[in-house]
Amino acid sequence: MADLILHLISELFELLFGEPQSLPQDWRVLAQSLDERRRARLVADYIAGMTDPYAEAEYARLFDGKPALG
């Protein structure tokens, strides 16, 4: 189970860092003005604030499928 959660978080980070336009509006605006290091911190903070169900929903939205966490 821990490997699946790590995979989900890693995939979310890679996508959101590489495509900040996928972030919610408020976060996207902030990300646009940051250098790469600070944008990485912003994406990490965004993911850290997610509940498990929200992280699963974001994964499903962004990757068009539900992760097999259960």
Beta-carbon neighbour count of residue 21 at 10 Å?
A: 8
Distance between CA atoms of 32 and 4, rounded to whole angstroms?
Answer: 30
pLDDT of residue 23: 96
Distance between CA atoms of 8 and 70, rounded to whole angstroms?
Answer: 13
For 47-61, the pLDDT digits (tens) are: 999 998 999 899 998
Using pLDDT thresholds of 50, 70 and 90, give the confidence band for residue 70.
Answer: very low
- Which parts of 1-70 fold into alpha helices (H)? 2-18, 25-32, 36-48, 52-63
Position 66 pLDDT exceeds 60? no
- Cβ atoms of residues 31 and 25 within 8 Å: no
For 4-38, the pLDDT digits (tens) are: 888 899 999 999 999 999 999 999 999 999 999 99
